[in-house]
Structure 1
Amino acid sequence: MIQRTFYLLSILLITISCNSSFSEKEKEEYRVKGKEIAEASFLALSTQLTEQMKAGGPAQAIPFCNQKAMPITNELSDKFKATIKRTSNNLRNPDNAPSKRESEILADFQKMKMDGKQLSPIVELDANNKKHFYAPIILKANCLVCHGKLNETVNIKTDSIIKSLYPNDKATGYAEGDLRGIWSITFKNK
């Protein structure tokens, strides 16, 4: 009886460990999917934000971002059957606070950037068998109007609009090419 129980437990453990493996082929599939989702999300957000900037500058774009960025991301999450998040150690919106793992990824990317290493997306499987994709968000020149340095690329008026909508804002002081944060995409299990 003990031998049979041990045998069944061994088969169960082997089955569980086999089911939670993540092959290189699967990693590449999810890397491609993750890039596609991050690019589509960036395009959707940046296109609409650019339209708002053209229509009314930061005075129109910042409130738009405050009210619409999360709903846009949530719509895309539904479309792609994944949870899409932008996060950073220097938050503008506290609802985007990083998880423990996201903080580790951010720290790793920051160290790699400081060491002059190439930043590449990371795909991994967590303890609950969920697949995750993390990719760096590198600041572009046109983002500096709202994320740059005060009195250099961010003027006082823009800063006051940001502070009125995001009283605890930490998302300024950047230069072009800085690591702004990460895309964190969690795929829903099929």
Structure 2
Amino acid sequence: MLVALLPTFTQAQQTDQTPDQLVAEARSKVQAFGSSLKQALQSAIKEGGLANGIAVCNTVAPEIAAQNSNDGWQISRTSLRVRNPDNTPTDWQEMQLKAMQEHPVKNGKPVEIWRIGNTDTGNGFEYMRAIPTQKLCLGCHGKSIDPGVQAKLNELYPQDQATGFSEGDLRGAFIVTYRPETN
């Protein structure tokens, strides 16, 4: 499901990209970030178990996000139940997450929404794509977490709220923003 809000950029922040081009670029950024993160997690878990995967999420995920954030584009993640308080959603993001919560997947695809114009963080483009909880996620985000894994979570994320999920639940969302350069 794609929902679009279409106010315009201010004159100082015009972009030569159409809304379809912006959405396509956001999807590409999410795909690159998600694929790299999943690969890094699977490799870390294979090498040293789930606790090793948590360490990768803690250090490597921000690095992967930074690699995919350039030329006015920024990628991050958020959730209604964050693991890292730095990923707390804005008011608009929280509203969208609540709307996505009942059906994070529609027609076999994660729900997405976007807007152009005055966003919570300034004028530009903001895109969200639901992250449904996958089987791979349950070892660290599920209802039954190994005590060793829970100890590592407590060490790295003392304010963790991101547990208790079941497969298919809305885990969170990818956030992609674009702020064109001002003239």
Correspondence 1:77 to 2:69: yes
| Conserved 8 A contact 1:31-1:122 | no
| Greater share of residues in strand | 2
Correspondence 1:31 to 2:37: no
Percent identity of equivalent pairs: 30
Correspondence 1:189 to 2:183: no
Q: Which residue pairs with 2:135 in the alignment? A: 141
CA deviation digits over 1:129-153, x for unaligned, max 9?
A: 3011111011111111111112xxx
* Among candidates 11, 26, 44, match of residue 52 of structure 1: 44
CA deviation digits over 1:3-26, x for unaligned, max 9?
A: xxxxxxxxxxxxx88959x9xx92
Name the larger-Rg structure: 1
CA deviation digits over 1:68-90, x for unaligned, max 9?
A: 21122112112x64110100011
Consecutive unaligned residues of structure 2, counting only runs of 5 or more, are 1-7
| Greater share of residues in helix | 1
Regions of 4+ moved over 3 Å: 16-20, 116-119
Query: What is the rounded CA distance, in whole Å, between the counterparts of 2:147 and 2:95 in structure 1?
Result: 34
Q: Give the length in aligned residue pairs.
A: 166
Q: Which has the higher contact order (CA 8 A, sep 6+)?
A: 2
| Amino acid in the other structure paired with 2:18 | E
Displacement of 1:43 in angstroms is 0.6
Consecutive unaligned residues of structure 1, counting only runs of 5 or more, are 1-15
RMSD of aligned C-alpha atoms? 2.4
Give the alignment's TM-score, normalised by structure 1. 0.78
CA deviation digits over 1:13-60, x for unaligned, max 9?
A: xxx88959x9xx922222211111111100111111111000001121
| Conserved 8 A contact 1:87-1:98 | yes
